[in-house]
Structure 1
Amino acid sequence: MRIRDWDRNLKVRLFGEAMMNITFWMFFPFLTIYFTEAFGKQMAGLLLIASQIFAVFANLMGGYCADRFGRKTMMVLSSFGQGLAFLIFAFASSPWLESAALGFVCFTLASVFGSFYWPASQAMVADVVPEKDRSHVFAIFYTSINIAVVIGPILGSIFYVHYRFELLLASAIICMVLGLMLARMTRETAPQNHEAKMVTKGQPKAWYHALTDQFKDYKVIAQDRTFLLFILAGVLVGQTFMQLDLLIPVYIKDSMETASLLNFTLTGEQIFGVILSENGLLVALFTVVVTKWMTKYKERNVFILSSLIYAVSIFIFGQTASVYMFIISMAIFTFAELMTVGIQQNFISKLAPENMRGQYFAAASLRFTLAKTVAPVSITFSLWAGYEITFMGLALLAALSAVMYFVMFQQIDKQNSAKQPIPVNTEA
């Protein structure tokens, strides 16, 4: 499906979100350093964890609101909310005012509004794209984000130190422009839902009914055994790719002080920078190609094989101290990542009932949130067991996730054979 054949909603989003993401990644990687210097490492760590917890709840609430009040509505409100948060953050880091505390509050608010935006944006793709093309469209959006991840920090390293106020101000303006574009140039795509009007027999519903309705809907999701297996498998395999900015850089730094690469002498930190750039570059170049390739195979085989390849790559990382082997391991690691980029989003869209897509996408993000919460344990574990055993344990968890995926698809087959089909096709 060519971009020129896309629904207008998606064309507007692709352009606007690309600009917003590039600007965002020009300062986001440096905020941890900013807050650490302002509050100290321990306090900054606690504050960032608290910020993430708020974002988790906002994500779940965002999924509910996307289904009840509409995708466009939530995306427009979220864009303006982020823009306002960044605008205040800019003035909290300006020549007239320097307040790290106010900046952190604004950063948290921006994260919350971003969490409101994400489920609606994913559900909108599922609303307007035919099932056979969804993986491809999700892959293009993923590629756009990763191009921003590659370009943004490079530009940020040049401009952030001396132009933080200007970067934050630019981000605020771009968010608000995106909000205007979404408001004027897109249409609502959510299925008609009378509950969204918040009325019952012509009478307004009490405010607390929204909360009780949300708990009822997420209870339905929690009872979906197939979906729960999907989340559990995602948490297990997530212990590997979450190490990209946790255990892997620490291990590389500890395993070699310097190394030679193409006649250049690099420090451990620089070697990690090389393989991180390798990951971003490969993702930007090959996401669409690999996704198109993977759609030819059964989803069962793609999910299981991706987990096993993750296991192989993380195992190799722990068995070597060679810069060239690190590069090879990262190439294998990235291939495992690309195998499921578009496939897993399309899988969620097929698994979810049409009127609950936003909530399913929000709940599905828990596999990343929970994985990110547990992942730092690997660093502590490595102090006790050593790097080699830790990496072997991570490989074992990835292999176990493959088993979980196998059980999940067995569950799907049983439901289909019992003539209780769910909207998931296990064929290519």
Structure 2
Amino acid sequence: MRLRDWDTNLKIRLAGESVVNISFWMFFPFLAIYFTESFGKTTAGLLLIFSQFFAVVANLFGGYCADRFGRKRMMVLSTFGQGFAYIFFAWASSPWLDSPIIGFISFTAVSIFSAFYNPASQAMVADVIPEKDRSGVFAVFYTSINIAVVIGPILGGIFYATHRFELLALAAIINILLGVILQAWVSETAPLAKKLKAKGNRISGFSVLLNQLRDYQIIFRDKVFLLFIIAGVLVYQTFMQLDLLFPVYINEMVDPQSIFSFTLQEEQIFGFLLAENGLFVALLTITVTKWAAMYKERNVFILSSLIYGFSMILFGATQWVWGLFIAIALFSIAELLTAGIQQGFVSKLAPAHMRGQYFAASSLRFTIGRMLAPLSIPMTGWIGYTGTFAMISLLAIMSAILYFVMFSLYDKAKVDIP
């Protein structure tokens, strides 16, 4: 599906979210080091787990709200919320105040509002794009994120150390501007939200909670979908280390090294590794998604998990910069294999009137994964880097096994349908 044939909502979002993502990646890759240096490994890991617990709850509630109150409303509120959270984060890193505690609280608020935004964002794509084209559209959005992953860390490597306040203030302004644009030019697409608005219905907070619990109970009775989430949580323990374990490992274990007569410091090595990952994904997501669509989804998911596991073993076994580049290349291939087909698979399972909740529940792979992933930081002090990388690799292999079981159930269910 060509970009010019997209719904106007998606064109506006693609442009706006691309700028927001660049501003985010200018400072996000360096936060694990910032919190680790401020609080220590164990405390930083536990605090990050604590912050992501709230994001898990917000993600589920955000999916319900996206179905009941509208994709647009939740996206606008979430974007404004992130903007104001960044204002406090910038203040905590300003020339007038240096408070890692306030910075951590602000980062937690950003995570919560982001968790509200994502289910509505993904459900809107499923609302307006035919099923046969959804994987391609999701791949384009994923590509835009990874273009930000290339540009953002390079800019951050230049400005973060001396201009953290300005970068965070810029993120606040950009998010608030996106909220204004979404409110002015994006239209509602949620089927149920349109009906409720037309009827003038109002739902009490207590009814929202009861309805949400009932609907999610229905979702989690879907064995295929439940296995999809559990396997995703396991494999995301690998994916999340790009922003957590990798920078800490490089900062502590990798010495400055020369490449083509240039000497790279630890922060620069990490920045180039992030840029490599982002460049791979930005250039190849659409191509690899089309290639992966030619094969059975089961085989693609399993292969991705196994490559993730191998890349973790390789990363933890080398302190040579070129070995790290090879490990990140494999890591990126694993990411590319499922970048476009994951959301398309969820849209096949989700009834139209519950898409927001299905996408919210599927995002538990990300939010629970992010909640548990910071354990890797204190684990390095308990069992060392080699043991930590081996443990994470084992989780990726376990996810491959669960994907095999999941698709066996999925194929059987399709055969049983009359």
TM-score, normalising length: structure 2:
0.87
Shift of 1:333: 1.6
Whether the 8 Å contact between 2:53 and 2:371 is mirrored in structure 1 is no
CA contact (8 A) 1:317 1:329 kept: yes
Identical aligned residues as a percent: 62
1:130 Cα deviation from its structure 2 partner = 1.2
In structure 2, the residue matched to 1:288 is 286
Question: How far apart, in 2, do the equivalents of 1:285 and 1:29 lie?
Answer: 21
Cα 1:218–1:379 shift into 2, 3 Å = same
After TM superposition, the structure 1 stretch with the greater mean CA deviation from structure 2, 126-135 or 86-95, is 86-95
Within a 5 Å distance, the mapping from 1:62-101 to structure 2 comes to 62-91=62-91, 93-94=93-94, 101=101
Unaligned 5+ runs, structure 2? none
- Report the more deviating stretch, 163-172 or 69-78: 163-172
Q: Distance in 1 between matches of 2:246 and 2:105?
A: 31
C-alpha contact (below 8 Å) 1:144/1:284 kept by paired residues = yes
Contact 2:83 2:176 in 1 (8 A): yes
**Alpha-carbon distance change, 282 to 111 in structure 1, aligned in 2, over 3 angstroms:** same
Q: Residue 369 of structure 2 is aligned with which of 361, 366, 371?
A: 371
Candidates 320, 329, 342, aligned match of 1:344? 342
**CA displacement 1:177-218 (0-9 Å, x = unmatched):** 21222122121111135885699xx98544211101111111
Q: Provide closer, same or farther for how the CA distance between residues 20 and 265 of structure 1 changes in structure 2, counting only shifts above 3 A.
A: closer
Change (3 A) 1:398 1:96: closer
Counterpart AA for 2:156: G
Q: Which of 401, 404, 417 lines up with 1:403 in the alignment?
A: 401
Deviations 1:72-94 (A, max 9, x none): 11111222222233345445555
Letter of the structure 1 residue corresponding to residue 178 of structure 2 = L
* Aligned residue type for 2:326: I
Contact 1:198 1:204 in 2 (8 A): no
Going from structure 1 to structure 2, the CA distance change for 1:276 and 1:220 (only over 3 Å counts) comes to same
Structure 1 distance, partners of 2:217, 2:138, is 27
Q: Give the C-alpha shift of residue 96 in structure 1.
A: 6.2
In structure 2, the CA distance between the partners of 1:394 and 1:158, relative to structure 1 (3 Å rule), is: closer
**Matched AA of 1:128:** V
Amino acid of the structure 2 residue aligned with 1:403: I
Q: Determine if the alignment matches structure 1 residue 213 to structure 2 residue 186.
A: no
What CA distance in whole angstroms lies between the structure 2 residues aligned with 1:17 and 1:249? 25
Shift of 1:256: 5.3
Q: Which runs of 5+ in 1 are unaligned?
A: 421-428
Q: Residues 278 and 330 of structure 1 are in contact (CA less than 8 Å); yes or no, is this contact kept in structure 2? A: yes
Distance change >3 Å, CA 60–CA 198, structure 1 → 2: farther
CA distance in 1, matches of 2:99, 2:318: 45
> Which deviations, in whole Å up to 9, do the C-alpha atoms of 1:253-310 show, x marking residues without a partner?
6665455544555566654444333212212221122112212222122112212222
Rg larger in structure:
1
The separation in 2 between residues aligned to 1:379 and 1:176, in whole angstroms, is 33
Partner of 2:114: 114
- Measured at CA, do residues 99 and 147 of structure 1 come closer, stay the same or move farther in structure 2, by a change above 3 Å? same
Stretch deviating more after TM superposition (37-46 or 18-27): 37-46
Q: Does 1:4 align with 2:4?
A: yes
How far the C-alpha of 1:166 sits from its partner, in A, is 3.8
Matched, 1:228 2:207: no
Query: Partners of 1:250 and 1:107 in 2: how far apart?
Result: 19
The superposition leaves residues 336-389 of structure 1 with CA deviations (integer Å, 9 ceiling, x where unpaired) of 110100110111111111111111111112222333344455566666666556
Q: Pick closer, same or farther for the CA change 1:210–1:161 going to 2, 3 Å.
A: same
Partner of 1:424: none
Aligned to 1:185: 185
The two structures have a TM-score, normalised by structure 1, of: 0.85
- What per-residue deviation string (whole Å, max 9, x for no partner) do you get for residues 85-135 of structure 1? 334544555566666555544433333222211110011011111111111
Contact 1:229 1:404 in 2 (8 A): yes
Contact kept? 1:198, 1:205, Cα under 8 Å: no
Does the aligned pair in 2 maintain the 1:193–1:355 contact within 8 Å?
A: no
Q: Distance in 1 between matches of 2:416 and 2:369?
A: 33
* Equivalent AA in structure 1 for residue 279 of structure 2: L
Q: Give the paired residue count.
A: 418
Is the 1:308–1:399 Cα contact (8 Å) retained in structure 2? yes
Partner Cα separation in structure 2 for residue 96 and residue 271 of structure 1 = 31
- Structure 1 CA distance for aligned equivalents of residues 37 and 313 of structure 2: 35
How big is each residue's C-alpha offset from its partner over 1:370-419, in whole Å with a ceiling of 9 and x where there is no partner? Answer: 33344455566666666556544443432332221111111111111111
User: Deviation of residue 318 (structure 1)?
Assistant: 4.3
SS at 2:340 equivalent? helix
2:46·2:375 contact (CA, 8 Å) conserved in 1?
no
* Structure 2 residue 188 is the aligned partner of structure 1 residue 173: no
SS of the counterpart of 1:192? helix
Q: 2:280 is aligned with what amino acid?
A: L
SS of residue paired to 1:297: coil
Query: 1:134-178 CA deviation, whole Å, 9 max, x = no partner?
Result: 111111111111222222232234344554444333323322221
- Whichever residue aligns with residue 113 of structure 1, its letter is F
Distance 1:389 1:41 in 2: 16
Query: Match of 1:122, as an amino acid?
Result: Q
| Letter paired with 1:343 | I
Q: CA deviation at 1:44?
A: 5.2
Aligned pairs (5 A) from 1:186-205: 186-192=186-192, 196=196, 205=203
Q: Aligned partners of 1:191 and 1:36: how far apart in 2?
A: 45
d(CA) in 1 for partners of 2:262, 2:303:
36
Q: Which residues of 2 match residues 15-414 of structure 1 at below 5 A?
A: 15-31=15-31, 45-91=45-91, 93-94=93-94, 101-192=101-192, 196=196, 205-249=203-247, 257=255, 259-264=257-262, 266=264, 270-378=268-376, 390-414=388-412
Which structure has the higher relative contact order (CA within 8 Å, separation 6+)?
Answer: 2
Listed one character per residue, the Cα deviations across residues 208-261 of structure 1 (whole Å, up to 9, x for unaligned) are 111011111111111110011111211222232233344445555666545554
1:68–1:195 contact (8 Å) kept in structure 2: no
Query: Residues 6-64 of structure 1, C-alpha deviation per residue, up to 9 Å, x if partnerless?
Result: 11000000111111222222333445566667667666555443322222211111111
Deviates more, 1:204-213 or 1:26-35: 26-35
Query: Which stretch has the larger CA shift, 42-51 or 204-213?
Result: 42-51
